[in-house]
Amino acid sequence: MHNLDKENQKTASARAENEQNDALSVLWQTQPVTTINLEEVKASLSSERIKQRWYMVIDSLAFVPAIYLLINSWDKFTFVAHAIFIFMLITALPLLVYQLWLRRVAAFSNDTQTVDHLMQLTKQIKNNVKIAFITKHSTWTAVLFGYAFLLERYLFGNPTPEKIVNMFVVMTSVSIGMLVWYVWAHKRQKRFERQLKTLESMAQQR
């Protein structure tokens, strides 16, 4: 009788364990599974390629006005203004080269090559986070250079009161524009960080 009770307990325990496993199996099967859409990844990489190529052109052309102004107005500025301009160029040029380097992943990717599109896209989005970070902090440095140049004009340029007012109006407008640009770049950085987490999560499922 005692043995019979023990057998019944074992049977009940085994039945309960099987029911629990069945319940877990059903729960697992009902969990949403994120699949990698290779065509969507390819399309995103293709879109990123076009954008990065345009950004490379725009970044490079952004130097043209500054160089043109420096060459045509060199004789009109003082030694201090020359030093400010040259320091700006020396500081900005390496950043330009670095940004172009960061954009190269998608800009020069090729669909005809046997490459991992998800890996390429992940690398470019990771670089986009760095680019957005650089862009964000270039805003306040540009404002500092602008006010340094404004101070130079005030001290050494002998401006009229009207000219001083105009310079402050221009710098105030530039400051507001740079503030808007800072907020935009910050939001872009956060968006790229979210995209990067999604892509890295997709890569772990492979």
For residue 108, pLDDT beyond 80: yes
Domain hosting 16: range is 1-31
Ranked by mean pLDDT, the top range of 46-50, 62-66, 97-101, 156-160 is 97-101
How many distinct structural domains can be found in the chain?
2
Residue 56: pLDDT over 90: yes
Question: Do 18 and 65 lie in a common domain?
Answer: no
Question: With bands split at pLDDT 50, 70 and 90, how would you rate the model's confidence at 30?
Answer: very low
Q: Are 78 and 152 in contact (CB under 8 A)?
A: yes
Does 18 lie in the same domain as 75?
no
Same domain, 8 and 47: no
Nearest to residue 122, comparing CAs of 198, 26, 205? 198
